[in-house]
């Protein structure tokens, strides 16, 4: 009898030890809970949030403004529990940082609390800002109109210091109500996860953002009931309905759950003890699933975690079903009993990675297996976490997904697109050839008529393109006699300027058009190559911000270029007067920059944007400018090369549009090449094609497409 009592006592002690180990939960090494803008500490459940005003050592900007409100979050909101935290906020008008000393490196949660209330003349819904941590962009130009939200992230912290940076946009500000930086158990996020296409994706250095954390069974689980203080919202609002059959049925049976410490970390008992199951009236052959719909951002991959626990039928082998996300089958014939090694009521977690191609939604489904007579299917919980892209961002979509995946899914669409582009290219080539041939004939006829033009009526004949111009790239060629008449034989009284090419004269053509005539001299710093390049380039486009080319003359070894006359003078005429007493390096920006040198690049940048400029981008920009200032013209880059280097500088700065330059240029070739060629010929005063409405980016893109690079 005594032996029996001893065994009973041992069993009781073991049960108590197990219960104690489960209830103790996870104790984080790092546990920073901050109540922002509050003058005192706040308690939420059994957790204490410290006022950032009382912890000034963590905030780099002591000038941040504290605000408070008496309004509360709606009592029906899942965040009502955090009302005491959301009634205060910290405001930043300049870049500000929270610094946290990390005890143990590894994954940490960053939870950001936002509630845009109105306090006096300050409306937090007008705030627009970005947030980053450890070179990861968490929020980009974030703005919240109303409501309340907790943004939860998981970062692999690899240093002893974690810096959380708030950067307001221009003429705006940033705010934060509360924040958390808490250690995450190592086993919570695996180092690698299979994708729906049976590939393996590494998560070691990737950041995650919790997009959805849902408890099936239509019950909300408070952070107070979760070992890791997670909020699980009810699945009711996400459940998709079917008019023909009762698809979803909510069930609850907490006593059937067989928890372990590992499963307690994955999700609490209250998640595994509730479920949404496929309606019992569903026919296994009816192809009916129970489904949920979630909004997600396209251009990202997502970690999807399914939580299962058999709480509806504990006879092993009786529950087998299929698991889906969108059109992919994640798991075929999922048998919880087999996967949990026959442990009744044991939780099971299924992870996969998927991307919402051609959609901004995830449809999560469970349904009956065709190889099982019993039509039941259940889901206890679900988590969807966005994975940071290759640029280390969680708020700037990247569409450079796995090429193999895209080709497998869209092979038909891509093939059709390629075929269509080939046909369009052939047709466009034929049109361009025919149009150029027609314009070439018209140009010859036009030139022959004008070649008969002379001061004394004598017939004069000239060879078109005597300086080697391509007939498709030149403007109108004027005879020398017409230029002499327009400028009164280059009268000094009509001289209006002097440049590196030569003198500039004001002239009047026979149709009373005022022109500016630039005449090259033997002492000119520019030669035939520059003369030809300038004419070919300016013949191809006109823009309201550029002086239009009217024509040229290369007769009798002359190098003459004719422009429209600027009756209001040059840009220099309208600039403020420069103080001649100042040193040259303070007047000439070029010499000032050169004097600074490469080691003082930051001094060149405007102080308003110096913090936003990437040093490598600035260095590339200065390098390009230096090449443009070469003494010898042949050493200077072409316009195409300049544009290419500027685009490279934009890429280094992180401009997203630069990533698609090549694609944009190739698409623009088809649509703009014919338009550009039309504007290169038949120039005459008052009748030339004007592209003043065309953006400068298109003009430069057209230059790149020429053989100037």
- Only one residue has tokens 């046909």, namely 423
d(CA 628, CA 630): 6
d(CA 3, CA 237): 56
Task: Tell me whether residue 586 is annotated as binding.
Answer: no
- Only one residue has tokens 């040198």, namely 597
> What is the side-by-side order of every strand in the sheet holding 495-498?
476-477, 549-553, 560-564, 514-520, 502-508, 495-498
Report the relative pairing of strands 149-157 and 549-553 from DSSP bridges.
unpaired
- Cβ contacts of 554 within 8 Å, gap of 6 or more: 466, 467, 477, 531, 560
d(CA 628, CA 187): 57
Tokens read off for 505 = 């004269």
> What does 481-534 look like in DSSP terms, one character per residue?
HHHHHHTTTT-GGGEEEE-SSEEEEEEE-TT--EEEEEEE-TT-S--HHHHHHH
- Cβ contacts of 174 within 8 Å, gap of 6 or more: 91, 92, 96, 127, 129, 131, 166, 167, 168
Are 312 and 216 within 8 A, CB to CB? no
- Only one residue has tokens 């996300």, namely 325
Report the relative pairing of strands 136-142 and 129-133 from DSSP bridges.
antiparallel
Give the residue from 255, 221, 253 showing the smallest Cα distance to 235.
221
d(CA 283, CA 677): 67
Are 397 and 386 within 8 A, CB to CB? no
Report the relative pairing of strands 161-168 and 129-133 from DSSP bridges.
antiparallel
Which segments are annotated as binding site for ATP? 518
Which segments are annotated as binding site? 518
């Amino acid at each position: 009898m005594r032996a029996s009592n001893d065994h009973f006592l041992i069993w009781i002690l073991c049960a108590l030890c197990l219960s104690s180990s489960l209830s103790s939960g996870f104790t984080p090494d790092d546990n920073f809970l901050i109540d922002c803008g509050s003058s005192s500490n706040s308690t939420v459940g059994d957790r204490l949030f410290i006022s950032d005003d009382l912890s000034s050592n963590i905030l780099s900007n002591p000038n941040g403004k504290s605000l408070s409100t008496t309004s509360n979050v709606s009592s029906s909101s899942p965040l009502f529990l955090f009302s005491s935290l959301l009634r205060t906020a910290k405001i930043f008008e300049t870049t500000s940082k929270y610094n946290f000393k990390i005890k143990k490196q590894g994954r940490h949660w960053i939870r950001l609390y936002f509630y845009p209330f109105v306090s006096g003349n300050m409306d937090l819904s007008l705030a627009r800002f970005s947030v980053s941590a450890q070179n990861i962009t968490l929020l980009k130009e974030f703005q919240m109109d109303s409501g309340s939200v907790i943004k939860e992230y998981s970062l692999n912290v690899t240093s002893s210091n974690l810096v959380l940076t708030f950067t307001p946009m221009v003429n705006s500000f940033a705010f934060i109500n509360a924040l958390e930086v808490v250690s995450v158990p190592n086993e919570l996020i695996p180092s690698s996860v299979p994708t729906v296409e049976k590939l393996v994706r590494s998560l070691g250095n990737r950041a995650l953002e919790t997009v959805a954390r849902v408890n099936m069974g239509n019950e909300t689980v408070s952070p107070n009931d979760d070992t890791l203080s997670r909020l699980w919202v009810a699945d009711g609002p996400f459940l998709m309905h079917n008019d023909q059959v009762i698809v979803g049925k909510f069930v609850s049976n907490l006593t059937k759950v067989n928890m372990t410490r590992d499963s307690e970390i994955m999700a609490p008992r209250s998640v595994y003890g509730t479920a949404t199951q496929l309606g019992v009236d569903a026919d296994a052959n009816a192809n009916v699933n129970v489904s949920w719909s979630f909004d997600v951002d396209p251009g990202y991959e997502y970690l999807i975690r399914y939580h299962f626990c058999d709480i509806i039928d504990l006879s092993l082998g009786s529950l087998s079903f299929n698991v889906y996300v969108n059109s992919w089958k994640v798991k075929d014939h999922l048998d919880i009993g087999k996967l949990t090694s026959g442990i009744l009521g044991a939780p099971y977690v299924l992870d996969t990675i998927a991307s919402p191609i051609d959609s901004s939604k995830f449809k999560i489904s469970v349904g009956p297996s065709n190889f099982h007579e019993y039509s039941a299917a259940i889901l206890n919980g679900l988590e969807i976490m966005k994975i940071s892209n290759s640029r280390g961002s969680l708020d700037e979509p990247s569409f450079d997904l796995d090429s193999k995946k895209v080709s497998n899914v869209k092979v038909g669409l891509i093939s059709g697109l390629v075929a269509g582009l080939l046909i369009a290219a052939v047709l466009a080539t034929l049109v361009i050839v025919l149009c150029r041939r027609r314009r070439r004939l018209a140009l010859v006829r036009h030139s022959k008529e004008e070649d008969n033009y002379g001061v004394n009526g004598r017939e004069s004949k000239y060879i078109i393109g005597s300086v080697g111009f391509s007939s498709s790239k030149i403007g109108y060629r004027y005879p020398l006699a017409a230029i002499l008449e327009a400028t009164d034989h280059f009268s000094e009284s009509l001289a209006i300027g002097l440049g590196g090419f030569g003198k500039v004269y004001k002239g009047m053509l026979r149709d009373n058009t005022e022109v500016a005539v630039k005449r090259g001299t033997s002492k000119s710093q520019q030669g035939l190559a520059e003369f030809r390049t300038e004419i070919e380039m300016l013949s191809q486009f006109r823009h309201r911000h550029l002086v239009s080319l009217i024509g040229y003359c290369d007769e009798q070894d002359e190098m003459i270029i004719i422009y429209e006359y600027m009756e209001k003078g040059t840009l220099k005429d309208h600039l403020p007067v420069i103080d001649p007493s100042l040193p040259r390096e303070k007047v000439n920006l070029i010499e000032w920059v050169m004097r600074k040198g490469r080691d003082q690049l930051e001094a060149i940048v405007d102080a308003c944007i110096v913090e936003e400029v990437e040093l490598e981008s600035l260095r590339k920009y200065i390098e390009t400018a230096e090449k443009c200032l070469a003494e010898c013209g042949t050493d200077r880059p072409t316009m195409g090369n300049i544009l290419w280097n500027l685009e490279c500088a934009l890429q280094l700065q992180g401009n997203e549009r630069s990533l698609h330059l090549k694609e944009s240029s190739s698409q623009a070739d088809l649509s703009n090449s014919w338009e550009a060629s039309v504007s290169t010929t038949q120039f005459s005063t008052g009748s030339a094609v004007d592209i003043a409405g065309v953006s400068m980016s298109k003009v430069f893109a057209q230059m790149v497409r020429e053989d100037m690079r």
